[in-house]
Chains A and B, each alone.
Chain A
């Protein structure tokens, strides 16, 4: 089996566990841990040569992080 593919699957599972059962349970810790399963997915895409999907996933992840951080900023300003 392809080493990149195996590594991607392993990182995906570890990342999902780290986001699902996050310690300490804060928003920012969960947001940072969310990058780990993203890496696993990127490695799986890399193993199958899906360059376009990979690039778009990177761009969309950047936008998603920005949207959530913005929501946290509004939350801090209002609380």
Chain B
């Protein structure tokens, strides 16, 4: 009987090999971008196989870097291929008029209950969804200000941990809500990527 970890490692190697082989054979740019995404999934399986807190600590930054890399590569590809004309208004169906406010509110409230990094991600998704469906008269300056103040609060919370450790609960709450606002503000910027003068 092969041990579980070795079997998983074998399968992950096979999957990554197949993905790289397909990438080698591919010539079209957008197909290669999609295959890069596939390789990311197959390689994350390696890290997931470690199966401890270390795996989570390694997967989180990997995912964040992967997302930003995908965004940057797609922008480079778009400019390189000369796709300069913005798309039309897109999908106009009834559910996109009525649902966003409710769904976004639910996601944001749930994110605030979760708090911390994952709470920020959930609330950020709600804001992304809202911006995507309901246009974006966004005010980047306001988002950046909120993001900056929450960063300061995060640092203050760390100083409380070091200087006044008896108030640790207050510091936990402070840093949890600050990182929530920070991640949410950054993620909501993605929801505004629809073309237009800033895109």
User: Footprint of B on A, CB under 8 Å?
Assistant: 1-2, 5, 9, 12-13, 16-17, 19-21, 25, 27, 30-31, 34, 37-38, 40-41, 44-45, 47-48, 50, 52-53, 55-57, 59-60, 62-64, 66-68, 70-79
Name the interface residues of B73-110: CB closer than 8 Å to any CB of A. 74, 77-78, 81-88, 90
Which of B4-12, B136-144, B172-180 forms part of the interface with chain A? B4-12
Q: Which 7 pairs across A and B sit closest by C-beta, in order of nearness? A: A20-B22, A48-B51, A73-B87, A53-B59, A78-B83, A77-B87, A74-B83
B153 close to A (CB within 8 Å): no
The reply on B155 being an interface residue by CB < 8 A is: no
Give chain B's interface residues, CB within 8 Å of chain A: 4, 7-8, 11-12, 14-15, 18-19, 21-22, 30-31, 33-35, 37-38, 41-42, 44-45, 48-49, 51-52, 55-56, 59-60, 63-64, 66-67, 70-71, 74, 77-78, 81-88, 90, 117-118, 121-122, 124-125, 128, 132, 187, 190, 193-195
Q: Are A55 and B87 in contact (CB under 8 A)?
A: no
B45-A12 in contact (CB<8A): yes
Contact B121 A16 (CB under 8 A): no
- Residue numbers in A under 8 Å from B78 (CB-CB): 71, 74-75
